Amino acid sequence: MGNETTWDIETDILVVGSGAGALTAAVTAAVHHASVLVIEKSDQFGGTSATSGGALWVPASRQALAAGAQDTPEEGFAYIKALTGHAVADDRIWAYVKQGPAMLDFLERATSLKFTPIPYTDYHAELPGGKLGYRTHDCNQIDAAGLGADFDRMRATHPSAMLFGVIPWTMYESAQMITQMPGWQKTLAKVVWRYASDIPQRLRGPRSRFLVFGNALVGRLKLALNEKSVPLQLNCGLTSLIVQNGRVVGANATRHGATLRIAARRGIILGAGGFERDGTLRAANLPPPTSTDWSASQPYNTGDCLTAAQNIGAATDLLNEAWWAPVIKVADEPRARPLFYERALPGCIMVNSAGRRYMNEAASYHVAGKRMIEDDSPDAGTAPSWVIFDARFRGLYPMGPVMPKIPDWMHRRAVRDLLVQAGTVAELAAQLKLPPAALTETVEKFNASAKRGEDPEFGRGHQAYDRYYGDARVQPNPNLYPLEKPPFYALPVYPGDIGTKGGILTDANAQALGHDHRPIAGLYAIGNTAASVMGASYPGAGATLGPAMTFGYVAARHAVGVNE
């Protein structure tokens, strides 16, 4: 199928995409003395990874054990197994729990990254092997000055991962402020001052030079690649794979309209995200209701590598799954805003078009987003659902783009246009075209039990993860408070995602598998280009990047022939 005499570029390892998994693969291969080329379709590197919270979920890391956490790979395995059942091969799960800690250690040696385990509870801590913290890891902050010209070439943080959509905060600072733990006002002042006092950068634009989360993670990985002189070619998208004698030996890519034939002597690692931004692939694979508008991912993940791999006979799995999330779509923003934590705060509920609650609003965004899809019906539509809150909530807590303490008129027009308000619950229902009697009854019923700290219908506040984003000052249940103080507010919420999680089926070495479940020589898939090792589940914060980076590390080592 290919003609080896006409290569435009030759390299040992071709890494496709520039998210955290892809860059981890590139660093790993480069450390092992392979020549590496990274190609990225868009004009900025980092993918959704750079724009993300940058958290990594890895059970039983050395860093966590050193900090005193009680955890073992066996417990990590048991927990993932409890969540995935028979959806994922055991050897892939073992590869993840064994290689995840090794990947963190490797990156601490090979780059300037340092990982800190944080007391962030697993999303299903009650299951066998579940933990109340220290599996989610945060990485060290970096000053943008250290990145030089790469700062502008790296995709910026998603607004939903920053204070007021623009001010970076660390994992601890955000949790402290959102749930208003003791000392939150001091932290707020510090975070705002850190941002405002960088006068030269403020004159340049709104983006902060204090980089945390995915920007710090990807930024430090890119620095390591620079040190190893690994080229990262922007505006260069893979279009197809080239097979010779049953082995993937290269790829075609387009760059500024021209086709490049790239030879990869030791392997191609596909880390080009999912297909969440392609309407046709969504409609063909994801359950309805679905829309590209409801994805919080950056816009370039259109499943190109999935299609290219399918075209040469790669098997796929989990194509009907995503990392789901309830989202708010602000008209003038290119990406939806996930409601990661707001739904757990006391004094809000979410209802369908029948004016009825239909879930524990404090469940993880994945569980809540999936529930929105599963519960959609002609008589009780969930797209949109409405998140309803009162004046007390409005004054205390954020809800998507609507910020507490900031009056309505100070919000952008596009945000104000979304926020519906009324003097009574019945009037609010009328504005939302929901049945007023049903919504009034829903709120009254919720209020009556919330006063006792109970949610007999959905058990909100019963699980450890529910309470993580509760307000500890609200007792007996930090997730429940009645909605009583007018005006009453509503925002439309859609069943969105932060990326798809179905893709190319891989083995424990991250090798792509054919329909006969045998490895396709020379081809690897990682991150959201691969079918997730987490099956249809979402175990905890960082469970997408943890595997993306771990299997990036695993794939590169396999491709360059490192066994230890």
Under the rule (CB under 6 A), what is the footprint of ligand FAD? 16-19, 21-22, 39-42, 47-49, 51-55, 158, 160-161, 237-238, 271-273, 296-297, 300-301, 304-305, 323, 338, 498-499, 527-529, 541-545, 548
- Closer to ligand FAD by Cβ: residue 447 or 528: 528
- Closer to ligand FAD by Cβ: residue 402 or 545: 545
DSSP secondary-structure letter at 352? -
Q: How far apart are CA 543 and CA 558, in angstroms?
A: 22
Q: Rounded to 5 degrees, what are φ and ψ at 240?
A: -155, 165
Treating both helix axes as pointing N-terminal to C-terminal, what angle do 436-450 and 425-432 enclose, rounded to 10 degrees?
130
Phi-psi region of 14 (alpha: psi -120 to 50; beta: other; left: phi over 0): beta
91, containing H or E segment: helix 90-110
* Tokens found for residue 376: 């959609």
Distance in Å, CB of 61 to ligand FAD, minimum: 15
- Closer to ligand FAD by Cβ: residue 294 or 489: 294
- Closer to ligand FAD by Cβ: residue 443 or 491: 491
Distance in Å, CB of 8 to ligand FAD, minimum: 16
- Closer to ligand FAD by Cβ: residue 22 or 60: 22
Distance in Å, CB of 407 to ligand FAD, minimum: 26
Given a contact cutoff of 8 angstroms between Cβ atoms, the answer to whether 355 and 466 are in contact is no
- Closer to ligand FAD by Cβ: residue 309 or 508: 309
The dihedral through the CA atoms of 145, 149, 150, 153 has a sign that is positive
Given a contact cutoff of 8 angstroms between Cβ atoms, the answer to whether 316 and 503 are in contact is yes
Distance in Å, CB of 325 to ligand FAD, minimum: 8
Q: How far apart are CA 543 and CA 182, in angstroms?
A: 29
Distance in Å, CB of 138 to ligand FAD, minimum: 9
Residues 6+ apart with CB under 8 A from 112: 140, 142, 220, 223, 224
Closest to 339 (Cα-Cα) out of 289, 389, 285 = 389
Distance in Å, CB of 59 to ligand FAD, minimum: 14
Task: Give the other-Cβ count within 10 Å of 75's Cβ.
Answer: 18
Q: How far apart are CA 515 and CA 517, in angstroms?
A: 5
Closest to 193 (Cα-Cα) out of 160, 159, 169 = 169
- Closer to ligand FAD by Cβ: residue 47 or 346: 47
Distance in Å, CB of 222 to ligand FAD, minimum: 12
- Closer to ligand FAD by Cβ: residue 310 or 440: 310
Q: How far apart are CA 245 and CA 222, in angstroms?
A: 35
SS (H, E, C) 194-212: HHHCCHHHHHHCCCCCEEC
Distance in Å, CB of 432 to ligand FAD, minimum: 27
- Closer to ligand FAD by Cβ: residue 52 or 352: 52
The one-letter amino acid code at 27 reads V
- Closer to ligand FAD by Cβ: residue 26 or 439: 26
SS3 for 14?
strand
- Closer to ligand FAD by Cβ: residue 474 or 505: 505
Distance in Å, CB of 169 to ligand FAD, minimum: 13
Given a contact cutoff of 8 angstroms between Cβ atoms, the answer to whether 346 and 470 are in contact is yes
Given a contact cutoff of 8 angstroms between Cβ atoms, the answer to whether 556 and 510 are in contact is no
What number of CA atoms fall less than 13 Å from residue 97's CA on the CB side?
A: 20
Distance in Å, CB of 543 to ligand FAD, minimum: 6
- Closer to ligand FAD by Cβ: residue 152 or 408: 152
The dihedral through the CA atoms of 319, 323, 327, 333 has a sign that is negative
Distance in Å, CB of 562 to ligand FAD, minimum: 22
DSSP secondary-structure letter at 430? H
The one-letter amino acid code at 498 reads I
Distance in Å, CB of 499 to ligand FAD, minimum: 4
Closest to 11 (Cα-Cα) out of 251, 256, 272 = 251
Distance in Å, CB of 385 to ligand FAD, minimum: 20
Phi-psi region of 315 (alpha: psi -120 to 50; beta: other; left: phi over 0): beta
- Closer to ligand FAD by Cβ: residue 138 or 507: 138
Instruction: Put the strands of the sheet holding 136-139 in their side by side order.
Output: 56-57, 136-139, 115-118
